[in-house]
A and B are shown apart, each in its own frame.
Chain A
Amino acid sequence: MNMSVASDSPVHSSSSDDLAGFLETELDSDSASSSESFPIDEAAEEDDAEVSNHRLKRRKLEHIETVDEDEIEDVASVKFSQEVSEASSSKLPCEHPGTFGNMCIVCGQTVEEEETGVSFTYIHKGIKFNQDEVTRMRDIDMKMLQSQRKLCLVLDLDHTLLNSTVLRDLKPEEEYLKSLTHSLQDVSGGDLFMLEFMYMMTKLRPFVHSFLKEASKMFVMYIYTMGDRPYARQMAKLLDPKGEYFGERIISRDDGTVRHQKSLDVVLGQEKAVLILDDTENAWPSHKDNLIVIERYHFFASSCKQFDHRFQSLSQLKSDESEPDGALATVLKVLRQTHSLFFEDGGEDLSSRDVRSLLKQVRKEILKGCKVVFSRVFPTKFQAEDHPLWRVAEGLGATCATEVDESVTHVVAMDVGTEKVRWAIREKKFVVHRGWIDAANYLWKKQPEENFGLEQLKKQGTDDKSDDVGLEK
């Protein structure tokens, strides 16, 4: 590398004689110099700096035409001196928007560690931005999203888009799967993968490829998983081999700020424009309004066991979720609806729209027009209005009441012998068990009441946990 650049510098203006000499000393220094800060030529007048800038710019453009080692070094020194003269004319104090290690990313000064900032390790290890900067970045992101007519979607991996199992946990009746795995060389079109090097097998949820393709037209997508970084990246390779859906937006538990919790603090999207798809509500304690809870995907036996379910997994039943009718297809419809409501041409300014209230709106359509009374569903001492099921029903658009009257349409009960049930049968009102409400919640659609009659309850016995909808076949 030619180190005598300084002497070849084609800079001509008066102030840059100092710069040339300065360049020479800087480039020749071979040990950490004693001076902390960059010796900036304070004497350079702003006007002179401007003039030299213009000349340097023109020269720089000429040089760029021919890409040649020597010439580039000249360009380099030209640009370099331009930088210094610029630095001397700007006197604004640095706001330290972020740090890399403990250095400010703008001015290079050491910034104390105590200053609060959010670590964005999924972008690069060691980078931290302060809250103001994060807000600024989110605002920029919002503008970009709006210009593309897109919102933000955060996706969970396990039991949402896929199901993984450790090879050790495979049951004998699942061994047949080993012969059905897809090649890792070209993952497109494959659903079942053997990852020997990670001692696991992964099954992608039916419809996931179409889901991602369609959703990517409406959303900028993130992966947010409680798995570790290598797992997250490997799953991303299976779901998104070209990196077109997620890019670098892969957040693993190693990148989260609070253990065992997920939060939108490391997502560079404004909260009013982010939707989350996850099978676990409690993973998102501060963002329940952004969340669409999806039915858990239990393909492997180990997955059912993990959740203490006694029903057989799909692999054991040699079956799978329906592609066109499954959970992902349903969620896609909801996403489309919410997205189109957001970008609907109304009178409103887009900046006042909030995806959370729109999601609530979509949900309230499901049981709109239903008036529900509960019978023996809540413990007697319990304040009915506070019960989660009451809240869910209201969230779905139903009106809830404690007493029966003409306007009641449905009685939700767990037992045939009650007053309210007898009244309902007399008045030809619907009698359903609570599964009818749960199903509406997960399937985003009012379900036929016949499928949730109390006789059904007796048939099923106590197989399913009442708060988890098993995959019904």
Chain B
Amino acid sequence: MQLHPRFFGQNLRENLVSKLIKDVEGTISGRHGFVLVVTGIESIGKGLIRDGTSFVTFPVKYRCVVFRPFKGEVLEAVVTTVMQHGFFAEAGPLQLFVSNHEMSDGMEYQAGEMPNYTSSDASVRIQKESEVLLKITTVSVVATEIVRTISITLFTMQLK
């Protein structure tokens, strides 16, 4: 954690921690997934002054809650956009896509103001804001910004 000398002084530790939180919460680590929230600081090591600048680097060990999607994992997600190719859903920071090829035969795409997928006997409908249960098949991390997946659908329908 790098800190500018203007933060030194009484509140050094506070400043360090708030900078850590600002820098790390909401980011993605390839290995660990989304860093959702910092839960505690384990230790803050001795600061080392960087050559040529006045910045000081502190090694900080911290605990946090991470969220990483795994292939085969089953998640609840909320549908955000419905298209003829499939629908997009999100589970927290995770963006998911379910292809229409991955849905059961009976599900038909219905275009219109509120595009949706409806089962052949009209008992199940997936549209924006629907909650779905999904199993992850493929995970892709793009430019360590957003992690996306394609899923096969297992359904539990709770329509709003």
Give min CB distance, A179 to chain B, whole Å. Answer: 37
> Which residues of A are at the interface with B, using a C-beta cutoff of 8 A?
1, 26-27, 29-33, 38, 53, 57, 60-61, 64-65, 67, 69, 72-73, 75-77, 79-80, 82-83, 86, 97-98, 100-103, 105-106, 108, 110, 123-127, 137, 140, 144, 243-244, 247-248
Pair A97/B81 contact, Cβ less than 8 Å: no
Task: Determine the chain B residues whose CB is within 8 A of the CB of A77 once the complex forms.
Answer: 154
B140 cross-chain contacts in A, Cβ below 8 A? 101-103, 110
> Contact between A33 and B121 (Cβ–Cβ < 8 Å)?
no
B62 beta carbon closer than 8 Å to chain A: no
Determine whether the beta carbon of B154 is less than 8 Å from that of A80. yes
Q: Which of B53-107 contact A (CB under 8 A)?
A: 70-74, 80-81, 83-86, 88, 95, 97, 99, 101-102, 104-106
- Kindly list chain A residues whose C-beta atoms are within 8 Å of the C-beta of B101: 106
**Does B113 sit at the interface, judged by CB under 8 A?**
yes
Docked CA distance A57–B121 (Å): 12
Q: List 23 A-B contacts (CB under 8 A).
A: A26-B72, A30-B70, A30-B73, A33-B72, A38-B137, A57-B105, A64-B124, A65-B123, A80-B135, A83-B104, A102-B142, A103-B148, A105-B86, A105-B97, A106-B99, A106-B101, A108-B137, A124-B83, A124-B88, A126-B95, A126-B142, A126-B146, A248-B81
Whether A32 contacts B70 by the Cβ 8 Å rule is yes
CB-nearest residue of chain B to A68: B156
Q: Which residues of B contact A73 (CB under 8 A)?
A: 154
Determine if B139 is an interface residue (Cβ-Cβ < 8 Å): yes
B104 near A79 (CB under 8 angstroms)?
yes
Task: Contact check, A29 vs B72: say whether CB atoms are below 8 A apart.
Answer: yes
Residues of A within 8 A of B44 (CB): none
| B150 part of interface (Cβ distance < 8 Å) | yes
From residue B146, how far is it (CB to closest CB) to chain A in Å?
Answer: 7
Q: Is B157 an interface residue (CB 8 A)?
A: yes
Residues of A contacting B: mostly: mixed
Taking a contact as CB atoms under 8 Å apart, the answer to whether B97 and A100 are in contact is: yes
Task: Assess A76 versus B138: contact at CB under 8 Å? Given A61-B121, A101-B148, A144-B111.
Answer: no
Give the residues in chain A near B84, CB-CB below 8 Å: 137, 140
| B116 vs chain A, min Cβ distance (A) | 13
Report yes or no: A123 in contact with B113, Cβ–Cβ below 8 A. no
A75 to chain B: which residues have CB within 8 Å? 155
Are B155 and A108 in touch, CB under 8 angstroms? no
104-134 of chain B: CB within 8 A of chain A: 104-106, 111, 113, 119, 121, 123-124, 133
* Chain B neighbourhood of A144, CB < 8 A: 111
Q: Which residues of A contact B85 (CB under 8 A)?
A: 97-98, 105-106
Q: CB within 8 A of A64: which of B99, B102, B123?
A: B123
B71 touches A247 (CB 8 A): no
Q: Are A60 and B71 in contact (CB under 8 A)?
A: no
Tell me, in angstroms, the Cα distance from A86 to B146 when the chains sit together.
31
Q: How far is the CB of B28 from chain A (nearest CB, A)?
A: 13
A108 near B138: Cβ-Cβ < 8 Å: yes
Say yes or no: is B152 at the interface (Cβ < 8 Å to chain A).
yes
| Residues of A contacting B73 in the complex (Cβ-Cβ under 8 angstroms) | 30
Interface residue from B72, B80, B88, B154 paired with A76 (Cβ < 8 Å): B154
Q: In the complex, what residues of A have CB within 8 A of residue B156's CB? A: 69, 72, 76
CA gap between A86 and B100 in the complex, in Å: 13
In the docked arrangement, what's the CA distance between A76 and B84, Å?
22
Assess the B104–A82 pair: CB atoms within 8 A: yes
How far does the alpha carbon of A53 sit from the alpha carbon of B106 in the complex, in Å? 12
Give the distance in Å from the alpha carbon of A83 to the alpha carbon of B135 in the complex.
12
A27 engages B74 (CB within 8 Å): yes
Closest partner residue, chain B, to A97 (CB atom):
B85
